[in-house]
Amino acid sequence: MASMAKMRDLLAWSTEHQVAPDDPNYVPPRPLQELDPGLIDMILGKPDAVRMRDAMAIAVDESKSEEDRVTALDDMELLIESLDNANDMEVLKLWEPVLNLATSPLPAISAQALWVALKAALEDPHITVRRKAAFLLNSLLLPDASLSSPASSTSPLQTSDLTRSAIDSHNILPSLTTSIVDPKPFGRDASNAEPDADYEEKAVRGVVTYLEGMKGSQTDVGEGVKKDLRAMLGEKGTERGKGWGLEEEEWDVLQRHAE
């Protein structure tokens, strides 16, 4: 209360001692000068769209250190936690560079880029983006020579291993299975709550491919994933996955890991 009284006294004093325009001592205020954009950024912070572009510019810059590039992708991950920012990936034309980074021969960059892509895709209201991300994930898990660029020294097997490492380190499998059994709405204003058959098929294919490659002691997918798998099996149980284009052996893979 005392501080508020002092504020009122100060305001009253400044008003009383304000020089009128017709006073000979009146000095007109200086016109507002155009502020340095850099100063505005320092005070208010850059808009998220600018920060996303800046982060991606660092991430794709091979002259930067690997640590700086991974940090930039970490920043991207934090930014796309906002649904609006995740949805802006397409507007800002950031999908192509982040998907290209997902095939980087540098494991840390590949892992982080893949996580950014999948995280943004699962939030994106455009179902085509989700389909592309699910297709990419499955493709990267396959030892397919077409995934390695001519300039890359990364072998197909290495690409598959890097992708699997990214899935493990960022716990992507539960997000993927949940997106199948409890899909988020898509379309304009996220108004379409119906499951998308094309996305489902691509996502299921990625899950199967990942599970098929699990070896040794790394076969426990966790109770959350098992619950999702059981829901998937129950949904397509009468046709044993034929609606997803699965073979009998692939259906058996789902059943085995759901137990």
Helices (H) and strands (E) in the chain, counts: 13, 0
> Could you tell me which residues come within 8 angstroms of residue 196 by beta carbon, excluding any fewer than 6 positions away?
127, 130, 131, 183, 186
For residues 186 and 130, is the Cβ–Cβ distance under 8 A? yes
Please determine, for residue 176, whether its predicted confidence score (pLDDT) is greater than 60: yes
105: helix, strand or coil: coil
Q: What is the DSSP letter of 47?
A: -
Half-sphere exposure of 25 (CA within 13 A, CB side): 3
- Bridge-partner residues for 186, per DSSP? 192
Work out the average pLDDT over 69-91. Answer: 89
Report which residue type is found at 220.
D
Q: Which two tokens stand for residue 245?
A: 């284009």
| pLDDT, tens only, 108-143 | 898 889 888 888 887 788 888 888 888 888 888 887
Sign of the Cα torsion 68, 70, 74, 75 reads positive
- Bridge-partner residues for 192, per DSSP? 186
> Could you tell me which residues come within 8 angstroms of residue 9 by beta carbon, excluding any fewer than 6 positions away?
none
Instruction: Round to whole Å and give the CA distance between 228 and 171.
Output: 15
Task: Report CA-CA distances (Å) from 192 to 12, 88, 126, 134, 235.
Answer: 59, 19, 10, 19, 20
Confidence grade of residue 154 (pLDDT, cut at 50, 70, 90): very low
**Arithmetic mean of pLDDT over the chain:** 80
pLDDT at 83: 79
Instruction: Round to whole Å and give the CA distance between 164 and 224.
Output: 19
Work out the average pLDDT over 29-53. Answer: 68
Please determine, for residue 157, whether its predicted confidence score (pLDDT) is greater than 50: no
Confidence grade of residue 147 (pLDDT, cut at 50, 70, 90): very low
CB atoms within 10 A of CB 212: 13
| pLDDT, tens only, 193-235 | 888 999 999 999 999 999 998 875 566 899 999 999 999 998 8
Most confident of 38-42, 92-96, 218-222: 92-96
CB atoms within 10 A of CB 163: 28
**What is the pTM assigned to this prediction?**
0.71
Confidence grade of residue 179 (pLDDT, cut at 50, 70, 90): very high
Q: Concatenate the DSSP letters of all residues of 155-222 into one string.
A: -HHHHHHHHHHHHHHTTHHHHHHHHHHSPPPBSGGG-B-SPPHHHHHHHHHHHHHHHHT--TTTT---
12: helix, strand or coil: helix
Half-sphere exposure of 219 (CA within 13 A, CB side): 11
